[in-house]
């Protein structure tokens, strides 16, 4: 380690409530990349930061150090702006799969560097791993070619883009430190700054299925992200959106890919998912100068989805990154299916009045669709489908969900978890989808 202090002393300083100067943070991040900081030390640092926080200067220093820990990309040669959106995570959040190709169809270029699942939420990269042959970690040349030719490419972090974040991200996932505001800020923005974007829009979730369950915490995170990003020269705004229930009626990797493809192909409708996608896309197009207003941009995104233009871009992206060229036309021929399915009847008929959304995510993790350890593999076929939404009537003819599982025992355990997560009443009302804009 440089800057005088070994890793354990840096951890001790933060554990005891001390403030880390920029050069000390930079030295720690260098140790993360070189391997001088062990996994145990990285987990301890994440917990110390979670317990005692990082102030704004520490967060900026951590973000800059993580950005500088690897390669940064330059898209200045493209004939349009490089734009992106990032979500803080939720259940049934398949927005990226639909929005990236829709933005591309509207003239943007979308070099989206996405993440794997964190805690109870599914990750976009884990979902894309359900597509046979799809390269979620291509080399930079393949990534650039896909962005140029398809207009979008959704990939994971390569070895040389923000490598410090890759290790910290994995440590947060398994040490109950996912919700740390400064660590979230540094993780998200280090990747986005390294991606060389012209503008960024953030989807900050709030509700029972979000990392920031309270709207005050979500607002604080959004402000932190927007202030740090704009301070670093990246034009950024944020929307606070509802995660008090699953955004889409599916949770699980292959199931969410199938759902997104069916929407893009016009074979399935999902008004809530498309509405959030259009709102975020409209904001993104306006930030990037491709629409006069967010409202105009939202209309263009909706049109790109309904016309099939977004589906065409998605198909080109999948093929460019090694996936099957006919995925949009024949998704079931390529996506894995679970061996066992089970309909989950409610304890009593009624109208869905509330959902403990986080519990649904944990049920998917327990099925094998997520991780409890960084090295865990994922069964992409398992998950939940036909999830009932708030305000829907459930009973003998309308189950709460369909469980997709490896075997009958796992299906029964998941069914019990799903049943416990739902609350029914005689009537219910949904929250608005978009709660606030932070700029």
Residue 431 belongs to some domain of the structure: no
**pLDDT tens per residue, range 314-340:** 999 999 999 999 999 999 999 999 999
**pLDDT tens per residue, range 422-435:** 999 998 889 999 99
Share of the chain above pLDDT 70, in %: 98
Catalytic residues: 84-87, 124, 172, 187, 191-192
Residue 70 belongs to some domain of the structure: no
State residue 2's pLDDT score: 44
Residues 278 and 373 grouped into a single domain: no
Structural domain containing residue 420: 337-425
Q: Which of 64, 52, 68, 66 lies closest to 19, judged by CA?
A: 52
What's the mean pLDDT in 181-191?
89
State residue 27's pLDDT score: 95
Residues 212 and 306 grouped into a single domain: yes
Edge-first strand listing for the sheet containing 350-355: 393-394, 350-355, 422-425
What's the mean pLDDT in 288-300?
98
**pLDDT tens per residue, range 351-370:** 999 999 999 999 999 999 98
d(CA 106, CA 268): 22
Q: CB neighbours (10 Å) of residue 137?
A: 14
State residue 160's pLDDT score: 81
Q: Is 162 left (phi over 0), alpha (psi -120 to 50) or beta?
A: left
State residue 374's pLDDT score: 62
What CATH number is attached to the domain comprising 41? Answer: 1.20.970.10
Helix (H) or strand (E) holding 43: helix 39-52
d(CA 110, CA 265): 20
Residues 231 and 177 grouped into a single domain: yes
Q: At what angle do helices 56-67 and 22-34 cross, to 10 degrees?
A: 40
**pLDDT tens per residue, range 219-278:** 999 999 999 898 888 999 999 999 999 999 999 999 999 999 999 999 999 999 999 999
List the beta bridge partners of residue 404.
341, 383
CB distance 204 to 222 below 8 Å: yes
pLDDT(3) > 60: no
Using the 3D structure, point to which of 332, 358, 381 is the last residue of a domain: 332
Q: What is the mean pLDDT of the chain?
A: 94
Residue 61 belongs to some domain of the structure: no
Confidence class of residue 297 from pLDDT cuts 50, 70 and 90? very high
pLDDT top residue among 113 and 242: 242
Structural domains in the chain (count)? 3
């Amino acid at each position: 380690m440089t800057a005088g202090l070994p890793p354990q002393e840096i951890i001790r300083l933060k554990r005891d409530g001390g403030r880390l100067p920029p050069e000390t943070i930079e030295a720690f991040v260098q140790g993360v990349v070189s391997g001088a900081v062990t996994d145990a030390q990285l987990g301890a640092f994440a917990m110390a930061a979670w317990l005692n926080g990082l102030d704004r200067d520490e967060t900026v220093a951590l973000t800059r150090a993580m950005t500088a820990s690897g390669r940064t990309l330059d898209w200045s040669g493209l004939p349009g702006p490089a734009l992106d959106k990032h979500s803080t995570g939720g259940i049934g959040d398949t927005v990226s799969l639909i929005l990236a190709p829709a933005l591309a169809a509207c003239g943007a270029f979308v070099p989206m560097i996405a993440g794997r699942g964190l805690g109870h939420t599914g990750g976009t990269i884990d979902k894309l791993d359900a597509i046979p042959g799809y390269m979620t970690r291509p080399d930079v040349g393949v990534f650039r070619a896909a962005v140029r030719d398809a207009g979008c490419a959704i990939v994971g972090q390569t070895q040389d883009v923000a490598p410090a974040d890759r290790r910290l991200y994995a440590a947060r996932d398994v040490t109950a430190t996912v919700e740390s505001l400064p660590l979230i800020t540094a993780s998200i923005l280090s990747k986005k700054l390294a991606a060389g974007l012209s503008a960024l829009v953030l989807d900050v979730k709030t509700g029972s299925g979000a990392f920031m369950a309270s709207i005050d915490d979500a607002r604080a995170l959004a402000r932190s992200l927007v202030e740090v990003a704009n301070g670093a020269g990246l034009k950024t705004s944020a929307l606070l959106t509802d995660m008090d229930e699953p955004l889409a009626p599916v949770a699980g990797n292959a199931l969410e890919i199938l759902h997104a493809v069916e929407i893009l192909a016009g074979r399935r409708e999902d008004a809530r998912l498309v509405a959030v996608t259009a709102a975020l896309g409209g904001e993104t197009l306006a930030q990037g100068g491709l629409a006069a207003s967010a409202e105009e941009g939202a209309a263009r995104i909706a049109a790109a989805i309904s016309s099939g233009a977004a589906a065409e871009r998605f198909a080109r992206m999948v093929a460019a990154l090694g996936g099957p060229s006919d995925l949009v036309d024949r998704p079931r021929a390529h996506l894995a299916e679970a061996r066992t399915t089970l309909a989950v009847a409610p304890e009593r008929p009624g109208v869905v009045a509330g959902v403990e959304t986080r519990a649904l995510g944990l049920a998917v993790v327990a099925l094998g669709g997520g991780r409890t350890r960084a090295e865990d593999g994922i069964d992409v076929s398992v998950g939940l489908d036909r999830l009932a939404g708030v305000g829907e009537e459930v009973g003998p003819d309308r189950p709460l969900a369909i469980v997709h599982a490896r075997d009958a025992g796992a299906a029964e355990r998941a069914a019990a978890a799903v049943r416990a997560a739902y609350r029914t009443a005689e009537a219910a009302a949904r929250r608005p989808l978009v709660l606030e804009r932070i700029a």
